């Protein structure tokens, strides 16, 4: 697993061996080492049931870990929960509100329960949060008459009732139409540009591609990959594959040409193609008297990489 560079002081979230085993023996989270850089939009990606939501619940103190430790915003959990959680906004497993209260009244009740919130500014902050998620015109409508997408928007508004240093959003575009999905993605970028760290739990590859700077991939409770998005993209760079009886000679030629990640597997020698033209590789191999049985350029896109990591498909739309 590739590590995300950064010292603990540079990380908004860090965990060490975070594990959750339920009474029946199921290990839902298995020794997860998260490293979420401050200011990142971190895509927490994986198939449904991979352990993403359980990990989030552990991070927020909603579940007790069986083993391991973690820090939020540089402070150890759960010791600093009282001081840190007011700086954290979260939407976990969909919003839950009072069905017979309006959007405004639901947020008013939530805000009143926050002892660190300033009651004098509540009306202004609530109105601003509703406008920010496009619910200003539906603020007086009762929650039971909200569509699924409107309910999801209200959940995001609840996370934005006050400035946050960290936002943890579990499937925030669930139930939204394409226009609403675009608006939420734009909001996430805007929040990150304003200095917040955003953790976006999703199974939608398109969300990761469009808004995330870093990615962690979960599979069966384990973190199977973690890196900056450009580094993951580098893994999907085209590879030149040479079939030859002289693997050592071919590997030397590819290395001299400046190709990286040269590997040998049976009669195949491969490397990341980068800026070298395949025709130039053929000429160099022939000039070095390396017999060439075959040569091809193989490409792997980000979706295929995640399938390789998890053995499961991902939704690529949304």
Tell which CATH architecture fits domain 8-233: 3-Layer(aba) Sandwich (3.40)
CATH top class, domain 237-299 = alpha beta
pLDDT tens across 76-94, in order? 999 998 899 999 999 887 6
Distance of CA 32 to the CA centre of its chain: 14
The dihedral built from the CA positions of residue 277, 279, 283 and 288, taken in this order, carries a sign that is: positive
Highest mean pLDDT (candidates 61-65, 111-115, 148-152): 61-65
Q: Give the strand pairing for 197-202 and 166-170.
A: parallel
Domain limits of the chain?
8-233, 237-299
Range 3-10 average pLDDT = 49
Q: Looking at per-residue confidence, does 233 or 124 come out higher?
A: 124
Calculate ∠ Cα 271-276-282, nearest 5°: 80
């Amino acid at each position: 697993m590739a590590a995300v560079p950064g010292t603990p002081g540079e990380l908004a979230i860090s965990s060490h061996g975070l594990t959750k085993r339920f009474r029946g023996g199921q290990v839902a989270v298995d020794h997860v080492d998260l490293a979420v850089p401050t200011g990142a939009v971190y895509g927490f990606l994986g198939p449904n049931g991979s352990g993403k939501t359980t990990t989030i619940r552990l991070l927020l103190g909603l579940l007790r870990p069986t083993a391991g430790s973690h820090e939020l915003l540089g402070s150890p959990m759960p010791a600093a929960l009282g001081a840190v959680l007011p700086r954290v906004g979260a939407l976990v497993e969909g919003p839950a509100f009072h069905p017979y209260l309006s959007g405004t009244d639901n947020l008013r009740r939530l805000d009143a329960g926050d002892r660190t919130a300033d009651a004098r500014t509540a009306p202004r902050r609530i109105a601003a949060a509703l406008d920010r998620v496009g619910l200003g015109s539906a603020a007086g409508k009762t929650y039971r008459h909200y569509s699924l997408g409107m309910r999801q928007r209200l959940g995001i508004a609840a996370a934005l009732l006050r400035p946050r240093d960290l936002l943890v959003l579990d499937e925030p575009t669930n139930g939204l139409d394409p226009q609403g999905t675009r608006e939420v993605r734009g909001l996430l970028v805007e929040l990150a540009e304003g200095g917040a760290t955003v953790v976006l739990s999703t199974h939608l590859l398109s969300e990761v591609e469009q808004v995330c700077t870093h990615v962690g991939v979960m599979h069966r409770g384990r973190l199977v990959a973690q890196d900056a998005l450009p580094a993951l993209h580098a893994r999907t760079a085209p590879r030149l594959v040479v079939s030859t009886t002289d693997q050592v000679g071919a590997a030397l030629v590819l290395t001299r040409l400046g190709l990286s990640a040269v590997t040998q597997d049976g009669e195949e020698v491969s490397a990341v193609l980068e800026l070298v033209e395949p025709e130039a590789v053929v000429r160099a191999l022939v000039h070095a008297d390396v017999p060439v049985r075959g040569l091809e350029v193989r490409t792997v896109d980000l979706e295929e990489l995640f399938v390789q990591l998890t053995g499961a498909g991902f939704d690529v739309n949304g």
